Amino acid sequence: MADPIIRQARGVFTGTVGSTDVTAGSPVYFDGTDWEYADSSDNTKYAEAFAVNTYKTGDVGVFCRSAVIRDTDAPYTQGDQYFLSETAGSITATRPTTAASLRQVLGFALSTSELYVDIPPVKEATVPLITTGATSAYALLDSGNFGGPTLDASAETLSLFAQVPENCVGLETAHLWIAAEATAGTPTMDITVSAADTGEQWDVRTADTTLANAVREGSAADEIFRLAAATGFDATGVISPGRAVGVKCAQDDAGTDISFVFGGTLVCLVV
């Protein structure tokens, strides 16, 4: 069984091999110190380069961002797309199916013996947080063009939903678009965030509560206000590939003013 050969390497650089020997053509990631095998089972270990040759632990190896991998054992299916595998350091034509595994496309089979691989820069993807409803009624904000489900009493709730992209490797930022009618004082709401994979219970992960007592209006009544909400999505397991995200906004003051959460966005980092 022959080791693969790397041709037409581009974006070449050097780095120290970490705790595991690497084989030519294997996808690797930088762990902050060394280069280790990439693994789609953990979206923080997404592929960032390919080994140009076979190296031992501690070697200073040569890596590249794109190349043609030639394998005389002819393991490829011409025309197929190839993904980072759930087996560390491997490439596969089978799209990962395990819940929360990363789906990172790495290459395209030119023939049964040659695979073109390429890693473009990480990009941003904006994912809408959709308001699904509230315990109160639909209303317009003042007499303008913004309207939606409302909160107008303490303990009433409003819900939002999003799905994390299946090629997501992190969260850059998040926000909610909110507003409130005329109020006395500073109205607040408790915002909690959790997530689940298909078949899991809604409470499988402890909801993040860092957005308790978040303000729910701008500097004036009827003002459209963008609330920074990224910290609410930092709980372990919330931002994971393909995972469903649920957000609950609960009015927590005694006022009867009408408040709105029109929706929001997650700005995800994707590969």
Residue 50: CATH number of its domain: 2.40.300
Domain region containing 22: 5-118
Residue 152 binned pLDDT confidence (cut-offs 50, 70, 90): confident
pLDDT at residue 256, as a whole number: 59
Asked whether the predicted pLDDT for residue 254 surpasses 70, the reply is: no
Dihedral sign, Cα of residue 18, residue 20, residue 22, residue 27? negative
CB 222 within 8 A of CB 216: no
Of 118, 151, 173, the last residue of a domain is 118
Alpha-carbon distance of 157 to 247, in angstroms, equals 10
Clarify whether residues 96 and 145 are in a common domain.
no
Count: domains in the chain: 2
Rounded average pLDDT over 254-262: 78
Asked whether the predicted pLDDT for residue 179 surpasses 80, the reply is: yes
> Among 160, 144, 127, which Cα is nearest to 262's?
160
pLDDT in tens, 118-144: 999 999 999 999 999 999 889 999 888
pLDDT at residue 185, as a whole number: 64
pLDDT at residue 96, as a whole number: 96
CB 180 within 8 A of CB 259: yes
pLDDT at residue 153, as a whole number: 84
Rounded average pLDDT over 48-74: 97
Asked whether the predicted pLDDT for residue 255 surpasses 70, the reply is: no
Question: Structure tokens of 212?
Answer: 């308790």
Q: What is the mean pLDDT of the chain?
A: 93
pLDDT in tens, 14-27: 999 999 999 999 99
Of 70, 92, 118, the last residue of a domain is 118
Clarify whether residues 135 and 265 are in a common domain.
yes
Rounded average pLDDT over 3-12: 94
Of 93, 118, 143, the last residue of a domain is 118
pLDDT in tens, 195-217: 999 999 999 998 988 999 888 77
pLDDT in tens, 218-247: 777 888 999 999 999 988 889 999 999 999
Clarify whether residues 88 and 179 are in a common domain.
no
Residue 258 binned pLDDT confidence (cut-offs 50, 70, 90): confident
pLDDT at residue 164, as a whole number: 98
For the chain, give the percent of residues with pLDDT over 70.
Answer: 96
Residue 239: CATH number of its domain: 2.60.120.260
